[in-house]
Amino acid sequence: MSQPIDLKNRRNFGIVAHVDSGKTTLTERILYYTGRKKTVGEVHDGETVTDYLKAEKERGITIQSAAVSVPWSQYQYSIIDTPGHADFTVEVQRSLRVMDGIIMLMDSVAGVEPQTKVVWAQSRQYNIPALFFVNKMDRLGANFDKCVKQIRSSIKSNSCPITYPVFENDVFVGFIDLTTSKKYIWDDNSLNTSATVTDIELDENLLQKRIDIIEEVVTDTHIEYYLEHGNLPNDIFIECLKDAVRSCKFVPILCGSAFKNKGVEFLLDAVGEYLPYPSIPEEQKDQLSAICFKNINDRFFGNVTYVRIYNGYIRLQEYIYNNFQEKRERPTKIVQLQANKFVPVDYAGPGEVVGLIGMKHTFTGHTLSTTENKHNLESIKDLVQVISLSVKPNTEKDKTLLSKCIAKTSMEDPSIRFSYDETGTLIISGMGELHLEVVIDRWNEETGVNLTIGEPTVDYLEKFIGKHSINYTHKKQKGGAGQWAYIEITFESIDTHEVIFESKLVGTSIPREYVPSVEEGFRKQVKEGYFINKPIVGIKATLTGGSYHSVDSSTLAFEICCKEAFKEILEKTKPCILEPYVNLDIQTPSEYTGDIIKDISRRRGEIKEVVDTEGNSDIYTETPVANLFKYVSYLRSLTKGSACPNMFFSCYKPMTDDLIQGLLRLKQEKNQ
């Protein structure tokens, strides 16, 4: 990074896919071919660069996103390898926030899988240009045409293949580049074997596929030429293709086998050719604008803040401004990211993804700029936690270690929420069972903390119903200083899950300094809940009047007054409990479809759609979280390991009266 890279030669992209599609294997080949590694690590051996956590090596999956920077030809690539499991969606989402492009990987046998659709939908929210790479073409049962069809139909992408596979004796040996009419053939699977490239004449079938691409990407400027000649000059064709990809109007489909070392170098060329470079308005190029998208706590460097710089420069020991915190701070080190290794540099500029060391106040979603150019970039969206566990330290030493674990995880993982129940027990909430399991395993591995873990529970919500007003007096006169407060307040339900407090006091019936205490009492009770001690949502409190005592009134008295008034109202209302539902999508051989549908119905799930394709079924359901504990293990047993489930949060829905009564009985039994 000592020599500045021309911005037009810089690419920031991520590798995203369903779990086990070969993302990390592809990243390892990229590191090898770009010269970052002299040997290739394999996922099954636990020797990969980007899957460096113990939990990743043991499970053979990516758990947290990892960034690497590599040179390729005249280009400089910043690459983010992301998780494919639904429980780690936040890692994908916050990485997508800073990517200029993505490689969307697919397993050539499985085709479009549940998480493929989820990640694709997330990438469309950010309008990110993409390339599809149909991987594992060497596998028995690879079906490129099926994958192309599913890309067009299942995720409705405007796509065509720009490479087409070549088989000899049913073995994948290479592909034909439809944009240049060249054939790429590999004689063996070794890393150092280059493809033999020959010019060919496209047959009628492949020529039609090339025409299909042209018809998708041809611009208004060249449409007349195409209609007259039935083709485009190759240089114009490539320019039209670039423009269509970079404007998200078209997504090319490529094929290869990362594990067998076929098509990786071609894919790297395609990234430079088709994915966009960072775009910066000329008038803003020197004005710093960057966003923090991730924090990690490194054992040697402490807090490492991952940032994407959009324009301007961050220089060593120079102050930068955190717009969210409204504070200045400066990094003690700037590092180029190589997964869990860091290369110090003196500065970083437009388009770069780097780590900042020594930042004390900058966390996920914060915008960095200068004091002269204050602004906020769009932050990373919050995610909904649906499953919780109780966690108790076994000894005083474990209690101290647990406090350190909480501080570290709070910084690194914004999808984890910490709270305490009425007994003071720590409750940890996350995106799924695997998510929580990995977090607790990491605590034990990194600190040796011993914990007693409770059974998973569902994160229910209490919904306020109706509109109720109350005039309430809080009075305590037993020895010492008294407590006295009187309020007139209205509680009413609202359609959203928001919690709103508003003061409509007129005059000085209550001194202004007591109003925040009234709000504090309201919000504390909202957080504590009432019927099953879960947070209350969908409520607005309006303070309309009250009075005070010149001696006995205090902030505490007004806080208690509001809490007790709210409790009295809640006592008179009918309980409404909301439970979380997930979209549970299952891909299965058709022979198990009937059994799976029956089981989902037994779990109170609703079948949204069943799509049958070539001996397989895609089952789309909406199912309550409460009935899905240990579901993955059950499904594996039911289908002999052949079904693939994917869960992601859908919505909260009101529970029926009989289910609510069951929860109330459980609470009563717990309190006895």
177: nearest Cα among 195, 167, 164? 164
The pLDDT, as a whole number, for residue 383 is 67
pLDDT digits (tens, 9 = 90+) for 23-69: 888 988 998 898 876 666 555 444 555 444 555 455 555 556 778 88
Assess whether pLDDT exceeds 70 at residue 363.
yes
CATH architecture of structural domain 387-459 = 2-Layer Sandwich (3.30)
Q: Residues near 575 by Cβ (< 8 Å), separated by ≥ 6?
A: 462, 531, 532, 660, 664
Q: Which of 3.40.462.20, 3.30.230.10, 3.40.50.150, 3.30.1360.10 is the CATH number of 465-572? A: 3.30.230.10
The pLDDT of residue 354 = 92
| pLDDT class of 108 with cuts at 50, 70, 90 | very high
Structure tokens at 80: 């983010």
Q: What mean pLDDT, rounded, does the chain reach?
A: 87
The tokens of 275 are what?
A: 């994915």
401-410, 521-530, 561-570, range with the lowest pLDDT: 401-410
Instruction: Say whether 182 sits in a helix, a strand or coil.
Output: strand
Tell me the pTM. 0.73
Q: What is 618-662 written as a DSSP string?
A: EEEEEEEGGG-TTHHHHHHHHTTT--EEEEEEEEEEEPPHHHHHH
The model's confidence at residue 626, banded by pLDDT at 50, 70 and 90, is very high
Which CATH number applies to 578-659? 3.30.70.240
Tokens standing for residue 536: 């209350």
Do residues 431 and 414 touch, judged by C-beta distance below 8 A?
A: no
Task: Name residues whose C-beta falls within 8 Å of residue 579's C-beta, 6 or more positions apart in sequence.
Answer: 458, 460, 624, 625, 626, 652, 653, 655, 659
CATH of region 7-274 = 3.40.50.300
Report the percentage of the chain scoring pLDDT > 90.
51
pLDDT tier at 295 (50, 70, 90 boundaries)? confident
Rounded Cα gap, residues 339 and 625, in angstroms: 34
| pLDDT tier at 20, thresholds 50, 70, 90 | confident
User: What are residue 294's DSSP bridge partners?
Assistant: 306
What is the token pair recorded at 389? 């566990």
Residue 90 contacts by C-beta under 8 Å, 6 or more apart in sequence? 383, 413, 414, 415, 431
pLDDT digits (tens, 9 = 90+) for 253-278: 999 999 999 999 999 999 999 999 98
Angle at Cα 310 formed by Cα 305 and Cα 312, nearest 5°? 95
Q: Is 193 helix (H, G, I), strand (E, B) or coil?
A: coil
Closest listed residue to residue 649, CA positions, set 627, 629, 624, 632: 624
Enter the DSSP assignment of 578: E
pLDDT value, residue 1: 43
Where are the extended beta strands (E) located within 366-464?
A: 367-369, 387-393, 417-420, 426-430, 451-453, 457-458, 461-463
CATH number of 282-369: 2.40.30.10
What does the chain come to in residues? 672
- Stated as kind and residue range, the H or E segment containing 601 is helix 593-602
d(CA 200, CA 184): 10
Q: Dihedral sign for Cα 552, 558, 564, 568, please.
A: positive
pLDDT of 576 strictly over 90? yes
Q: Which stretches within 190-309 are classed as H helix?
A: 204-217, 223-229, 234-246, 264-274
Comparing 28-42, 112-126, 395-409, the range with the smallest average pLDDT is: 28-42
Virtual torsion, Cα 210, 215, 216, 222, nearest 10 deg: 110
Q: What is the DSSP letter of 49?
A: S
- Per-residue confidence band for 113, with pLDDT thresholds at 50, 70 and 90: confident
| Max CA distance (Å), the chain | 100
Residue 465 to residue 491: CA distance in whole angstroms: 9
Q: pLDDT-derived band of residue 3, with 50, 70 and 90 as boundaries?
A: low
* CA–CA dist 40, 177 (Å, integer): 27
According to DSSP H, which parts of 417-483 are helical? Answer: 433-447
Same CATH fold assignment for domains 387-459 and 578-659: yes
Distance CA(587)–CA(589), nearest Å, equals 7
Judged by DSSP in three states, 610 sits in strand
Domain boundaries, the chain: 7-274, 282-369, 387-459, 465-572, 578-659
